[in-house]
Amino acid sequence: MDSLYFPQTERSPLLELDFAKRRMRIEGESYPENAAAFFGPVLKSLAHYLASPAQDGSSSQFLVDLRMAYFNSSSAKALMNIFQLLESAARRGVRIQINWYYHPDDETMMEFGEDFGEDFERARFSLCVLGEDGE
């Protein structure tokens, strides 16, 4: 399956879906003119990938790194849809690790991380505080 890569723009995040490396990352700000148009193809590819037979064994794994700085409510809905796909894949036996990175001073992103984290039972969701150098 082909990987997806969208570079960061003024209003949309960097988004990479790398199936060869079994990882996904989303970074930056997200308030695109049309969240459904931006996230639609990503959701479709991810759903297709996670449902494919190669991912069905318990040995399979998938890593997700998120470094969001801001997102609007339509993007929040899209992120939730992505998380729901990941959680259901985890319930089928895929080992899912999600890292939610946030700056220690960023109350909003910390709170979103805590909120999102409560929805996972089978997928592993970790809150990761970024250092001064952004790592």
Partner 1 sequence: MSIADEHFDFQQRMQAQGVIFSFVGYLSEGILFSLGESLREKMRLDATDANVAKRVFSIFVEQVQNIIRYSAERLEPGPPAELSSGMVTVGRDQTHFFVVCGNLVGRTEGRELERRLRELAEMDKASIKTYYREKLREPGPLESRGANIGLIEIARRSSRPIEFGFAEASQDRAFFCLKAYI
3-state secondary structure of 39: helix
Q: Indicate the residue among 8 and 81 with the shorter CB distance to partner 1.
A: 81
Question: Which window, 15-23, 47-55, 77-85, 125-133, contacts partner 1 (CB under 8 A)?
Answer: 77-85
Q: Is 106 in the site for partner 1 (CB under 8 A)?
A: yes
12-71 residues near partner 1, rule: CB under 8 A: 31, 33-36, 39-40, 43, 70
Amino acid at 111: E
CB of 71 to partner 1, least distance (A): 9
Q: Is 87 in the site for partner 1 (CB under 8 A)?
A: no
Print the SS3 string covering 23-36.
Answer: EEEEEEEECCCCHH
Question: 127 and 100 in contact (C-beta within 8 Å)?
Answer: yes
Q: Which of 115, 124, 126, 129 binds partner 1 (CB under 8 A)?
A: 115
Q: Which residues contact 15 (CB under 8 A, 6 or more apart)?
A: 4, 5, 6, 24, 25, 26, 42
Q: Which residues contact 122 (CB under 8 A, 6 or more apart)?
A: 87, 90, 91, 96
Q: How many residues bind partner 1 (CB under 8 A)?
A: 28
Q: Which residues contact 119 (CB under 8 A, 6 or more apart)?
A: 80, 83, 84, 87
Q: Is 107 in the site for partner 1 (CB under 8 A)?
A: yes
Q: Is 77 in the site for partner 1 (CB under 8 A)?
A: yes
Which positions lie near partner 1, rule CB under 8 A? 10-11, 31, 33-36, 39-40, 43, 70, 72-78, 80-81, 84, 105-108, 115, 118-119
